[in-house]
Chains A and B, each alone.
Chain A
Amino acid sequence: MSVAVREAPIGRPDAPAAVNDFAINVATANGSGSQTSNGVLLRALFKMGIPINGKNLFPSNIQGLPTWYIIRLSKDGFLARREMTDIQVCMNGRTVAEDMERAVSGGIVLYDDSLPIANHRKDVTYYPMPVKDLVKEASLPHALRDYVANMVYVGVLAELLGIETSEIEAALLHHFEGKEKAAGLNMEMVNRAIDWATEHVGQHEGYRVERMTGFNDGKILVDGNTAGALGALAGGLSLASWYPITPSSSMAESVEKYAPALRTDEDTGKSTVAVIQAEDELAAMGMVVGAGWTGARAMTCTSGPGISLMAEFAGLAYFAEIPAVIWDIQRMGPSTGLPTRTSQGDIHAAYYLSHGDTRHVVLFPANPVECFEFGRVAFDLAEELQTLVIVLSDLDLGMNQHISEPFEYSDAPFKRGKVLSAEDLEERQGSWGRYMDVDGDGVAYRTLPGTKHNMAAYFTRGTGHNEYGYYSERPDDWEQNLERLKRKFETARQMVPKPIVDDVEEAEVGIISLGSNHEGVEEGRARLANAGLSTSYLRLRALPIDGSVRSFIDRYRTIFVIEANSDGQLHSILTTEEPAQALKLNSIAKCDGLPLSARFISEQIQQALEEEL
Chain B
Amino acid sequence: MTTAATTRAARATRRAARPARTNRIGLEKTSYRGRPSTLCKGCGHDSVSQRIVNAAWEMGLDQTQVVKLSGIGCSSKTPAYYLGWSHGFNSLHGRMPSVATGAIVANRSLEVIGVSGDGDSASIGIGQFKHAVRRNLPLIYIVENNGVYGLTKGQFSATADEGQVLKYQGLNDLPPLDICMEALTANATFVARSFAGDPKQLEALLKAAISHRGIAVLDIISPCVTFNNHDTSTKSYGFGRANEIRLHDLNFVPEFEEIEIEEYEDELEVELHDGGTIVLKKLDPDHDPNDRTAAYNVIQRSLDEQKLITGLLYISEEEPTFTELLDITETPLAQLPDSKMRPSREALEGVMAGLA
Q: Which of B63, B85, B103 touches A291 (beta carbons < 8 Å)?
A: B103
Cα(A284)–Cα(B95), bound, Å: 10
Cα(A487)–Cα(B91), bound, Å: 25
In the complex, the chain B residue whose C-beta lies closest to that of A471 is B80
User: Which residues of chain A are within 8 angstroms of B338 by Cβ–Cβ distance?
Assistant: 236, 413-414
Known: A312-B92, A453-B64. A279 touches B128 (CB 8 A): yes
A450, B333: Cβ atoms closer than 8 Å: no
Shortest distance between the CB of A585 and any CB in chain B (Å): 38
Interface membership of B274, Cβ < 8 A: no
Known: A270-B330, A272-B341, A411-B342. A460 touches B350 (CB 8 A): no
Shortest distance between the CB of A48 and any CB in chain B (Å): 14
Q: Which of B85, B107, B349 touches A457 (beta carbons < 8 Å)?
A: B85
Q: Which B residues between 84 and 125 are near A, CB-CB below 8 angstroms?
A: 84-92, 95, 97-107, 109-110
Cα(A453)–Cα(B64), bound, Å: 7
Interface membership of A109, Cβ < 8 A: no
A265, B90: Cβ atoms closer than 8 Å: no
User: Which residues of chain B are within 8 angstroms of A226 by Cβ–Cβ distance?
Assistant: 355
Q: Which of B98, B326, B334, B355 touches A286 (beta carbons < 8 Å)?
A: B98
Interface string of A4-33 (1 = CB under 8 A from B): 000000000000000000000000000000
In the complex, the chain B residue whose C-beta lies closest to that of A463 is B90
B334, A295: Cβ atoms closer than 8 Å: yes
B107, A295: Cβ atoms closer than 8 Å: yes
User: Which residues of chain B are within 8 angstroms of A233 by Cβ–Cβ distance?
Assistant: 342-343
Interface membership of A454, Cβ < 8 A: yes
In the complex, the chain B residue whose C-beta lies closest to that of A290 is B102
B92, A460: Cβ atoms closer than 8 Å: no
Q: Which B residues between 45 and 98 are near A, CB-CB below 8 angstroms?
A: 62-65, 67, 69, 79-80, 84-92, 95, 97-98
User: Which residues of chain B are within 8 angstroms of A449 by Cβ–Cβ distance?
Assistant: 67, 86-87, 103, 107, 110
Known: A262-B347, A272-B329, A283-B98. A450 touches B336 (CB 8 A): no
Q: Which B residues between 317 and 356 are near A, CB-CB below 8 angstroms?
A: 326-330, 332-336, 338, 340-343, 345, 347-352, 355-356
Interface membership of A456, Cβ < 8 A: yes
In the complex, the chain A residue whose C-beta lies closest to that of B34 is A459
User: Which residues of chain B are within 8 angstroms of A298 by Cβ–Cβ distance?
Assistant: 102, 106
Interface membership of B282, Cβ < 8 A: no
Known: A230-B348, A271-B327, A290-B98. A276 touches B90 (CB 8 A): no
Cα(A291)–Cα(B336), bound, Å: 13
B102, A289: Cβ atoms closer than 8 Å: yes
In this complex, how many residues of chain B approach chain A with their Cβ under 8 Å: the count is: 59
Cα(A292)–Cα(B91), bound, Å: 13
Q: Which A residues between 261 and 308 are near B, CB-CB below 8 angstroms?
A: 261-263, 265, 268, 270-274, 276, 278-280, 282-298
User: Which residues of chain B are within 8 angstroms of A289 by Cβ–Cβ distance?
Assistant: 91, 98-99, 102
Cα(A236)–Cα(B349), bound, Å: 17
Q: Which of B88, B103, B343, B350 touches A294 (beta carbons < 8 Å)?
A: B103
Interface membership of A215, Cβ < 8 A: no
In the complex, the chain A residue whose C-beta lies closest to that of B38 is A471
Interface membership of A582, Cβ < 8 A: no
Interface membership of B170, Cβ < 8 A: no
Interface membership of B29, Cβ < 8 A: no
B328, A457: Cβ atoms closer than 8 Å: no
Known: A270-B330, A450-B332, A457-B88. A287 touches B102 (CB 8 A): yes
In the complex, the chain B residue whose C-beta lies closest to that of A460 is B89
Interface membership of A504, Cβ < 8 A: no
Residues of B bordering A, CB below 8 Å: 35, 62-65, 67, 69, 79-80, 84-92, 95, 97-107, 109-110, 127-128, 131, 326-330, 332-336, 338, 340-343, 345, 347-352, 355-356
For this complex, 25 residue pairs linking A to B, each with C-beta atoms less than 8 Å apart, are A220-B352, A230-B348, A237-B341, A238-B341, A239-B105, A263-B343, A265-B340, A270-B330, A273-B333, A274-B105, A278-B98, A283-B97, A286-B92, A290-B89, A293-B102, A297-B341, A312-B92, A409-B348, A411-B342, A448-B107, A449-B103, A450-B110, A450-B332, A459-B88, A462-B91
Residues of A bordering B, CB below 8 Å: 219-222, 226, 230, 233-239, 241, 258, 261-263, 265, 268, 270-274, 276, 278-280, 282-298, 312-313, 316, 406-407, 409, 411, 413-414, 447-454, 456-463, 470-471
